[in-house]
Amino acid sequence: MTCKEAMYLYCSLDQGAPFPAELEAHLASCPTCTHWVQQMNSVLHAYKNSGHYPLPTPMEDRILSAIEALEAAPVLKPHPTLSPGKWMLPGVFLLLGILGIPFSTVFSVFAYQPSGNLEIWVPLVLGAAFTTYAALFTGYNLEWLKKKFLT
């Protein structure tokens, strides 16, 4: 049992409940956890032996009204974000598509049409699409990018 597990187990026990055997075994071998448990027990003991003083009525009313206001307030749902992995595959295909344009014969049919030349428009439209994709990816995944590259 780790110290973290031992403290979690201790804090989940009812006050005055007997310690489970695994917690007893950990406390017997870990002076740090034993010290923490003794400190927490002394605080609980001091609290139980202290006189209970009632809250002043105005303070109690303010606390209860604040709790009621918090409970009545609508709970905001977090905005769902797409994971970075779900953005990667479309981005890779978009980039490969843009890089493959010079080697493609698909647009050669339109290149010599009398209505106009697509040699300028196709890269502009695809460049705008890639820029929009990159901006949306960055905007939706800014926290992930910060953790990934700045830490």
Tens of pLDDT, residue by residue over 94-124, are 777 777 766 766 666 665 666 666 666 777 7
Assess whether 146 and 88 both reside in one domain: yes
Q: Is residue 56 domain-resident?
A: no
Tally the domains of the chain.
Answer: 2
| pLDDT, tens only, 40-80 | 989 888 888 877 777 788 888 999 999 999 888 888 777 66
Assess whether 44 and 88 both reside in one domain: no
pLDDT at 110: 60
Alpha carbons 126 and 49: distance in angstroms, whole number? 75
pLDDT at 33: 92
Core vs surface per residue 80-102: b (16+ CB within 10 A) or e: eeeeeeebeeeeeebeeeeeeee
Which residue is associated with the tokens 């002394």? Answer: 42
Domain span at residue 29 reads 1-49
Assess whether 88 and 146 both reside in one domain: yes
Q: Is residue 79 domain-resident?
A: no
Q: Is residue 28 domain-resident?
A: yes
DSSP 8-state secondary structure symbol assigned to residue 15 = T
Does the predicted model carry a pTM greater than 0.75?
no
Q: Is residue 34 domain-resident?
A: yes
Q: Is residue 73 domain-resident?
A: no
Q: Phi/psi of residue 30, each to 5°? A: -125, 105
